[in-house]
Structure 1
Amino acid sequence: MGTGPTAHRGSLREEQKRLTKAKIVDTARSLFETQGYSDVRVEDIVAAVGCSRATFYLHFTSKSEVLRAVANAGTLNSVREFYADLDRVLTTGSRAAFEEWVTRAIYWFLTNKDMLPAWDEATALEPEFRAVAREGIMTLADSMPAFLARWPADRRDEARLRIELLVAQLERFFTRWALQGTIDVTADKAATVLTDVWFPALQVPAE
């Protein structure tokens, strides 16, 4: 069973659906990068893909759901990997290794900077996406089990908060530095100063 012409046609349909969904996500990302979030309409995505609105809504219920798919297609996973690596770096106790991590984080933002305005717009405009963004930040601490385990049980919430504040400051610094141009500093100097602030802040306090 499941090996005849009908099964073959079914597998082809599923592959076509997968390819269409991937094309919608890739196309939407390109539009979000060049136009931001609010200026892109579902009609713009449909026209760029060359599909119908019915096909779009077969895969997604809204524009914000497409943006979430863009994030899930790689951005969120790469961020989680970055913080999993921070967990390893903090375990070494090396300030130099932490500064190297901060430098890599800055260059990660540079690589992904075209999407940042769209994320910010969606977070401001869409209650659903605000919840997604908050969930994303909160799960970053889950990528750091060794760091959390070193904190006393009654201070784990504080440990999580420190990670969330680190994420927020890195994002805000990058927005002002690379997107707005209101901070004039080299990436290396910024990494050094951020390390001065955050390396001691992420050390587990003595009992």
Structure 2
Amino acid sequence: MWTFPVPSANRPVRAYHGAVTGTTATAPPRNAFREQQWREAHERYLDCARQVFGSLGYHAATVADIVAAANGSRATFYAHFRDKADIAAALFERVLPAGAAMYGRITEFPELNREHVRRWLDEHVLPFWATYGVEIDLVNHAMAADPGVAARHYQWGMEAVRQLRPYLARWTGEHEQAGLTRALLLVLQLERLCYHWLVRGVEHERGMVLDILADLWVRELAVLREGPRG
């Protein structure tokens, strides 16, 4: 069983297990009708928060703006979310299944070569960042404002690494941490480039970037698959 290091923070970090679990607020036991109401309110606040953040930006938007957009109350908001950073993080958590599926495709290559990796980057990775640009931008702002969100982001990175498990099969015992770190650096490097390029709008020539990334990922995945040397 794979285990991953979790950094210390002011609050516990929730692991992602294939379904978004919500936020730091834990819903008390309730009957099915009340549970449905709770989930519907939760999703309504998330949907309205995405609209507010997309319109005003992370820093200008307030909890009051989100509450007003949801036709709710502060009391209800705080029953679901701790603060603005928490709901921004929760919005990003909603896209984690799509992110997991994206990285999971790496293990479906009929063979590891540059052509397959480049196609994966072009058809799955870049569209992911373009589709979820609002959520990705929000979580980057929230990380800067809240160390707890930053710790959660680290855990999300490790969940992406989890999708590369077949490539880490040889990294066991004393080499396990080295393998995890290599894979995490590969994921984080891709994330930062896509964030500045596709979310923040730094100009790059698409074909050139795809070529460079394909070369990098083929090389590093091959290293991971071969296992530690010596």
Aligned residues: 195
TM superposition shift of 1:64: 2.4
Question: Match of 2:116?
Answer: 97
Aligned in 2, Cα 1:156/1:36: closer, same or farther, shift over 3 Å? farther
Higher helix share: 1
Distance 1:190 1:133 in 2: 25
Question: Match of 1:122?
Answer: 142
Q: Give deviations 1:83-115, integer Å, cap 9, x for gaps.
A: 2222333x7323211111121201211111223
- Structure 1: tracts of 5 or more residues without a match: 1-9
TM superposition shift of 1:137: 0.5
**TM-score, normalised by the number of residues in structure 1:** 0.83
Structure 2 SS opposite 1:203: helix
* More divergent stretch after superposition (166-175 vs 39-48): 166-175
Does structure 1 residue 169 correspond to structure 2 residue 189?
Answer: yes
Percent of aligned positions that are identical: 28
Q: Give deviations 1:26-78, integer Å, cap 9, x for gaps.
A: 111222233332222111110100111112122222222222322232x1121
Amino acid at match of 2:195: T
Stretches (4+) displaced over 4 A? none
Contact kept, 8 Å, 2:130 with 2:199, in 1: the verdict is no
Q: Give deviations 1:126-175, integer Å, cap 9, x for gaps.
A: 11100100111012212222111033543332222222222222222223
Does structure 1 residue 18 correspond to structure 2 residue 39?
Answer: yes
- Structure 2: tracts of 5 or more residues without a match: 1-30
Question: Match of 1:50?
Answer: 71
Larger radius of gyration, structure 1 or 2? 1
Distance 1:96 1:150 in 2: 25
Does structure 1 residue 41 correspond to structure 2 residue 62?
Answer: yes
**TM-score, normalised by the number of residues in structure 2:** 0.75
Amino acid at match of 1:201: E
Q: 1:59 aligns with which of 80, 87, 90?
A: 80
Q: 2:217 aligns with which of 193, 198, 202?
A: 198
Amino acid at match of 2:193: F
